Structure 1
Amino acid sequence: MEEADIGLVGLGVMGENLALNIADNGYKVAVYNRTAEKVDAFLANAGDLKSNVMGSGELATFISMLKRPRSVIIMVKAGDPVDQVIAELKPLLSEGDVIIDAGNANYHDTVRRFSELDGTGIGFLGIGVSGGEEGARHGPSIMVGGSEAQWDNAEAVLTAISAKFNGEACCAYLGTGGAGHFVKTIHNGIEYADMQMIGEIYGIMRDGLAMSPAECAKVFEEWNKGPLDSYLIEITSHVLNAMDDESGKPLVEVILDAAGQKGTGRWSAIEALNLGVSATTIEGAVAARSISAMKDERVRGEEIYGAGAKGKATISLEALEKALLAGKIAAYAQGFAVMAKASEDNGWNLPLATIAKIWRAGCIIRSRFLDQIAQAFDSGGAANLLTQPAFIDMMKDSNGALRAVVATCAINELPSPCLSSALAYFDAYRQARGTTNLTQGQRDFFGAHGFKRSDKDGDFHHTWPSLIGQ
């Protein structure tokens, strides 16, 4: 019997598209799904790719279809379902085989699974896959972490199906354990911040400048030809131009202004806090999604306090473009700083330039900007983009616009949690003498935590006056 190059468990939308992508790239893929009818339907609908697909609704039969050493991709819902599939696969696999979790896993789960399989002879890879349904079908960005020894099993297939940028595959092995899924988590955190800042700029256009969706779309379409050239800017113009067939209105005006969260954005904010790295733009974006879900409370809030001044903002479109660029720089600077600290703490030695390179195509945050980031990290230097020469020049040119936009939002009562956070981060980052000296004094006063001095080495404590009885 002819054997498949790789196996895939889970025929949801992402799983189906990834399997078709594998087949489309000339590799034979075997598929399995708990519901056997889905396997039958997939095989029946494979069309011209039928010769490169096979499958079974029986797990042992599915495993028998794979070449040794065997590679099995899991594309099921994150959490317990992944653990259940791993438990079912383990008795059927042999030394040298590898299990590949390609879902949006919490990297702590990936670390645990990697450790549990370590020593069994069965490898474990946790890979971040970004690009949505289209990316899964035609080429995603793939961030690989886990068992380097078994990475060889699947490297050829995963590299082939990944997106390409100027001929370079957007797929790389990044480190042991949970490195791949951690990088994907931070990717999604940056994505949250990027999308939120675009939304805030749209809000200024809509509410501050009284622009129609079509007018906004033209601006974003034009911006996509310049420094902001990116997938998210491009699709923003399409979303703003779309019309609703049922109501005849612009579609964006009938979409409810309430967002859900799948977890990765929130995880990235939590990990940044755990690592002690400032990621305020990501935190702001997560908070913005949370408050967006409070629709009824927001309606009541407007009834109590009134809405902001509509159509009375005075700010140029050029300033909005530059402000968005400055905010984007801050968000990416924070995201890469988080990855640098996680790499240090976990012994991953994450290749920051490589990460930027594999994000240049396929993934949701793909943009011209990432090629500049890759070049900056390739040249060496500090992990924070704000200290990289190319970004120093950009930030010097654009931070004034960010300041003007945030001020305009404050005056006109327009919310800008992400842009405001970006500005505050930039100002704090470039302040040689901050105000935490007072905070340290307060902590020593009420908790005898001690402090360091600026004029000599060592740890110190002051004898403060007692306020008891006053």
Structure 2
Amino acid sequence: MSSEIGLIGLGVMGKSLSRNLAQKGFKISIFNRHVAGKEEDVAVKFQREYQELKEAQPFDNLGEFVKSLETPRKIILMVNAGPTVDLVLNDLQEFLEPQDIVIDGGNSHYQETSRRMSELEAHGLIFMGTGVSGGEEGALKGPSIMPSGQKDAYSKIQKYLEAIAARDADGKPCCTYIGKEGSGHFVKMIHNGIEYVEMQLLAECYAILKRQGTSNENIAQVFESWRQDLDSYLLQITIDILRKKEGNDYLLDKILDKAGNKGTGNWATVSIANYGQPATLIPAALFARYLSFFKELRLETAETFSTKKFSGEITKDQLKDSYQFARIMNHHQGFALIHRASEQHGWDIDLSELARIWTGGCIIKSDFMKELVEYLKADVNLLTNENLIEIINATHNAIQSVAAACIQGEIHAPCLIESVNYFHGQKAATLPANLIQAQRDYFGAHTYQRVGDSSGEFLHTEW
């Protein structure tokens, strides 16, 4: 009997998605490559391990795997982003037929996804770029899914993706058609950028409390008190991490302060520059990770320059307000960036619907995201929302005080500080950019426009 859908790549995410599909009652085929001495009989062993996979068909022969699928074939790729995707696609094409659908569920770059769509379309094949967020647990129990590509092709895979997706508060699947080309992978990339900032903000709040002598358990209690108003998945797991012990010691205190990254934060930062958007928090979070990675250089610098003892006072209420303020700026910047890209490429992304599918299953799900579903229906610019204006005004003094205390107390808090720095620039009626433009005209004849000149004429001065 032919399988309804196939999955290639039995890494952590591939295994979880396979089990999720099988649990939903779909007949599936699973494939993993054969590498002598390293990866042998992976699919067979995995299929035997779980009861829900008893009807699944395991393969390490690609041709046999493809043959096992009903036509038009539907295949999910869960392989490493980059050249591996192209290698697998190249091998697959030998066995595929026109109208077969390949769904890339990895963290591919959106421009690469658009390229692959065009290349496969020339052979009559359909390629769908699909962002998947939720990690190992989300992939098994229900992730947030962001598919893009040909809209009519989505209707052919919709039932599978919606069945395995998380559910929002109304029971609707956290899966929706995003738009054309690689838009699904683009929004997943920005999702990860927002995630970088959310993680960094919690790390900075943790750092401030630690510098004030607060114990891990008491920090966890502070964060626990925030859940009533500011609950999120990342806040919840941070509390669990703070409380985790290894023997009598906190495990967190034994973890080296070097944070890695898989590349999506880097891609998001490059995209911010390419689209000319002032989304300043994602780069700040990315560079904070880069800085952390140079541990040996930091130790060397620390021996050269002394750090004074923190003598300022940041209250728990000020810290909570600052965290809330910075999160508003983070989400505002992220959605504004997505809107800019959508307009430029004609993707027609529904930001409210995107926020809805990010309310469940994904890493950045939060109570705030639930509020954004309604806010984004009214205006894509979150800084015009009356509810958020009220919160920003109420927390502005706190973030200014916290930012100043961090600078004076030599606490590295780039995202908290940048959030208010960005806001001050965003609400500035005038900026010193007139001087910069004059400098550009002076050395490069780049011209400038004059204040009050409605003609829009560009002028040059011989300085």
Smaller-chain TM-score bracket = over 0.9
**Residue type of the partner of 1:206?**
K
Q: SS of 2:330's equivalent?
A: helix
1:64-463 to structure 2, matched below 5 A, reads 64-166=67-169, 167-207=171-211, 209-226=212-229, 228-245=230-247, 248-310=248-310, 312-378=311-377, 380-381=378-379, 383-456=380-453, 457-463=455-461
Deviation of residue 464 (structure 1)?
3.6
Contact preservation (8 Å) 2:244, 2:252: yes
Contact preservation (8 Å) 2:446, 2:460: no
Contact preservation (8 Å) 1:202, 1:216: yes
CA distance in 2, matches of 1:16, 1:346: 34
Report what 1:468 is aligned to: none
Deviation of residue 462 (structure 1)?
4.3
Q: SS of 2:245's equivalent?
A: coil
- Give the TM-score taking structure 2 as reference length: 0.96
CA distance in 2, matches of 1:64, 1:460: 64
**Residue type of the partner of 1:260?**
G
CA distance in 2, matches of 1:374, 1:442: 44
Q: SS of 1:315's equivalent?
A: coil
Contact preservation (8 Å) 2:19, 2:53: no
Contact preservation (8 Å) 1:100, 1:124: yes
Contact preservation (8 Å) 2:205, 2:319: yes
Q: SS of 1:127's equivalent?
A: strand
Deviation of residue 91 (structure 1)?
2.1
Give the percent of matched residue pairs that are identical in Structure 1 and Structure 2. 39
Is residue 2:47 matched to residue 1:46? no
Report what 2:37 is aligned to: none
Deviation of residue 195 (structure 1)?
0.5
Deviation of residue 339 (structure 1)?
0.4
Contact preservation (8 Å) 2:2, 2:70: yes
Deviation of residue 6 (structure 1)?
0.8
CA distance in 2, matches of 1:131, 1:308: 41
Deviation of residue 153 (structure 1)?
2.1
- Give the TM-score taking structure 1 as reference length: 0.95
Deviation of residue 229 (structure 1)?
0.5
Q: SS of 2:7's equivalent?
A: strand
Contact preservation (8 Å) 1:46, 1:53: no
Q: SS of 1:361's equivalent?
A: coil
Deviations 1:349-403 (A, max 9, x none): 111001100000100000000111110112x22x221122222122111122111
Number of paired residues?
Answer: 456
Instruction: Name the Cα RMSD after superposition.
Output: 1.2
Deviation of residue 147 (structure 1)?
2.1
Contact preservation (8 Å) 1:205, 1:211: yes
Instruction: Give runs of ≥4 in structure 1 deviating > 6 Å.
Output: none
Deviation of residue 52 (structure 1)?
3.8
1:308/1:286 CA distance change after superposition, 3 Å = farther
Gaps of at least 5 residues in structure 2 are 35-39
CA distance in 2, matches of 1:134, 1:50: 17
Q: SS of 1:169's equivalent?
A: coil
Contact preservation (8 Å) 1:70, 1:153: no
CA distance in 2, matches of 1:460, 1:160: 56
1:279/1:308 CA distance change after superposition, 3 Å = farther
